[in-house]
Amino acid sequence: MKHYILITKTQDGEHEYLDRQLFAFDGDPTDDKAVLSDFFMETVTHDEWCGGYQVDGDYRIYYVYSIKEIDPNHLNIIQTYL
């Protein structure tokens, strides 16, 4: 399993938030839908109007802002600080 630093952008009405977290993922990191579905542990739906993704029952829109693979040699250091 590969580890990544994942930055998600949340669109909440007029407000936007960026959140950074350590994320373990086995899939294709360029597939935003798969990344967000795994992150939320729920299926996400693509929103045609704004281009982001929604979790069922949630009005907010989510995007993968950035995803960067972590070198396995650096994982322990990053886990210490995140």
Task: For the chain, 82 residues long, give each residue's pLDDT as a single digit of tens.
Answer: 999 999 999 999 899 999 999 999 999 999 999 999 999 999 999 988 888 999 988 889 999 999 999 999 999 999 998 7
- Output the CA–CA distances (angstroms, integers) from residue 59 to 2, 21, 31, 47, 64, in the order listed: 30, 22, 22, 11, 17
- The pTM assigned to this predicted structure is 0.89
Cα 10 vs. chain centroid, distance in angstroms?
A: 10
pLDDT at 48: 86
